[in-house]
Every structure is written in C-alpha cells, then in structure tokens.
Chain A
Amino acid sequence: MAEMDNTFPPEPPAGLLDRVRAGDDPAFEALYRLYAGRAYTLAHRMLGQREPAEEVLQEVFMDLVAALAAYRGDGPFWAWLRRMVVNRALMRMRSERSRPRLVAVEDGHDSWLDEVASRQYERVHQARDLDAALAQLSPVSRAVVWLHDVEGWTHPEIAAAMDRSVSFSKSQLARAHARLRDLLSQEVLDESGYGSTVGAA
C-alpha cells in the first residue's frame, strides 16, 4: 500500500472530464481508478469502517457525472471531489444511527465518549498502530483530526462543513490529539519509520 501523500494527486488527464461528462464509460472508469483509493481512504478515516466508507465511495461516484456539470475547473479536481466525499461522509455520520453520539459530543457531556474511552482504556496496550489508535476516537474527533492534520483543512472550513463553530472544531482537534497522544506507543512510531524523527524533536 502506498503511503498517504499529503499533496494533491495529479489532475485528470486533458479531456478526461469532458469524456466523462459525455457518458464515456472507459473514461469514467479511468477517473474512478485515479481517485477511488484517495476518496475511499478519506471516507474510511472519517467513518472508521470499511462498509460505510465503500457506500460513500459508491454514492459519490454515482453522483459524480451529474455533479461534474457544476465543476468549472477553477481549482484542483481532488479538492472538489474531496468535498463531495466529506459531505457524504458527514451526512452518514449525521444519520439516525450515529446522531446520539454526535449530540453527546456536541453538548460537552461526552457520556458516550467517556463510556467508550473507559472500555478502550483497557485496550490501550493493544493499540499497535496509528490505524487502531485513530479507530478509537469518537467519529467526530476522528473526522476533525483527519481533515485538519491530513487533508489540511482549516478550522473555519471544518466548522462550516460540520455546521458547527470554529471553537467546536478546535476543541475536537485538541481532544483527538490528546487521545492519540495517549494511545500511540513508541513501537508504532518505530514501525512507521517515524520514531527517529520524534526522538530528535
């Protein structure tokens, strides 16, 4: 598996989007192959599970051709596509099933989070990699830390996408960092090849 590249992926080849707009199936598949991994990774990191992330990916690409009518090419294609993925993932997070979790976090009571955290505290030593640590965050915290730290979104951008305040985004990020800081172990850093950098910091 390729390591996440924080820079934007290459733009689609010239003419590809026009062919997709015109209903060209091979062009559509080429576009899917170019961006599916990146889009799926984003959805998975936000939602924490394979199945809903795959559903988000499917929904985004099913809507893509129609949505392309609104894409004017005045910004990187991935930035535009990424927003579709984020919006879809957030919609899913707001669904009935996940709403109680969101309310608990939003109100600051964190009853759900605390309950999960207390159980997860027992499993801290099982967190052998960053992936597992990330998965132990609340859905909102995970989405915020990923959008901010990996996708490079600003707090105002995150707040707008989540229909929350900037301070909400900042507090969620701080919460996520604190949780990850507690969960991460030196072994994880060594495995990722990152330990020496951290040790020098």
Chain B
Amino acid sequence: MNQDTDRLSVRLDDSEIARALRTLPQLEPSERVWQRIQARRGRRQHRWYGPALAIAATAVMAVALTLMLPAAPPDPGPDADALADLAAQSDELERLLVGLDPDARVLDMETAGTIVALEDGIAAVDGRLRRAALRPNEAELLWQQRVELMRALVGVHATNASIEF
C-alpha cells in the first residue's frame, strides 16, 4: 500500500481528510420514497377513519329516520334531568370541538364530506329542537341524537388531528 500511496503528491492528515469528506455533495433520495411514505400514511388514515365514518353514517341515518318518524304517542312527561344531562354532554362536545381547532387543517374530500353530512345532521336536529311545540320524548330523542352526531364530529376531527399518534 505504501508503494501505491508514494505516487501521491500529497499525504493527507486527519483534518484534511475530514475537510475533504465535507466537500462531498448532498445526496437526494428518489421521489419514490416520498410516494411510499404518502401511500403508507394514506393507508393509516383510512384505517383510522373507518370506524369514524361508520359512526358518522349511522348517526346521520338515525337523524334522518327520526325526522321522518310520525309523531310519537303522548308521553307521561319530560325528564328534566335527562334533558339537562344530554344538553350538558352536547355542550362539552362543543367545547372539545372548539379545542380541536377544526378550521386549522386541510381535509381530504372524503373527510370533508363526512363532516358536512354530520354538520347538516346537527343543523337539522337543532332546527327541530327550536320548534315551539315538542313532545317531551321527542326532545330527549333529539338531544340524544345531537350528542351522537357531536361525538361523531369530534371523533372525525380528533382523528384528523392526531392521525399519526
């Protein structure tokens, strides 16, 4: 080896080798790495969104069916405690939703569609709740559905916010 290196016009010391190594160019990965990462992240998102979408679909269906139901028979009377409890749950979910800052994220089309459907369902429930004459059992049912829809909505936003955690 010494015979070979004798032909060199210079002998490098350690610091010169280090400096020479630092002249090597930065390398760039092929674009397929990013494509693979995207694909794997997409699969994770669909895994996470699956249950949320099922909940959302079920909740929307429940609201639709409720709104189409004929008027319920007379009820013995409102359960004020149950209504208050449901309203409190709904308020808590609203606070959770605000805490998730749902407008701060870019959504894919599928998730955005789910959120719109849930928000439409909540608006429909709110419209019924604002009616002057509600049967007691109807109010409780609507509040239950509002809580379900809010849970689904919070779930979708929370999944979107912490998809990788």
B16 at the A interface (CB under 8 A): yes
Chain B: minimal CB distance from A115 (Å): 15
Give CA–CA (A188, B19) in the complex, Å: 13
Chain A: minimal CB distance from B39 (Å): 10
Residues of B contacting A22 in the complex (Cβ-Cβ under 8 angstroms)? 101, 104-105, 161-162
Residues of A contacting B27 in the complex (Cβ-Cβ under 8 angstroms)? 1, 37, 40-41, 44, 53
- The answer to whether B161 touches A29, judged by C-beta atoms less than 8 angstroms apart, is no
- SS of A interface (majority): helix
The stretch of A73-81, A95-103, A158-166, A179-187 that contacts the partner chain: A179-187
Q: Mark B3-33, 1 if CB is under 8 A from A, else 0.
A: 0110011111110111111111111111011
A14 at the B interface (CB under 8 A): no
Interface footprint category on A: 35 or more
Chain A: minimal CB distance from B9 (Å): 5
**Given A4-B24, A44-B27, A62-B40: A184 in contact with B12 (beta carbons within 8 A):** yes
Give CA–CA (A130, B17) in the complex, Å: 9
CB-nearest residue of chain A relative to B23? A192
A-B CB contacts (within 8 Å), total count = 145
Residues of B contacting A44 in the complex (Cβ-Cβ under 8 angstroms)? 27
A128 at the B interface (CB under 8 A): no
Residues of A contacting B145 in the complex (Cβ-Cβ under 8 angstroms)? none
- The answer to whether B161 touches A186, judged by C-beta atoms less than 8 angstroms apart, is no
Residue in A1, A6, A50, A194 whose CB lies within 8 Å of B25: A1
What are 30 A-B contacts with C-beta separation under 8 Å? A2-B25, A3-B23, A3-B24, A4-B23, A25-B106, A28-B41, A36-B33, A38-B26, A40-B27, A40-B33, A50-B30, A58-B33, A65-B163, A130-B20, A130-B24, A131-B24, A134-B24, A145-B21, A148-B18, A149-B18, A149-B21, A150-B21, A150-B22, A177-B14, A177-B17, A181-B11, A186-B9, A189-B10, A193-B23, A201-B10
Which residues of A are at the interface with B, using a C-beta cutoff of 8 A?
1-6, 19, 22-26, 28-29, 32, 36-38, 40-41, 44-45, 50, 53-54, 57-58, 61-62, 65-66, 69, 121, 124-125, 130-131, 134, 145-146, 148-150, 177, 180-182, 184-186, 188-189, 192-195, 197-199, 201
Which residues of B are at the interface with A, using a C-beta cutoff of 8 A?
1, 4-5, 8-14, 16-30, 32-34, 36-37, 40-41, 101, 104-106, 160-165
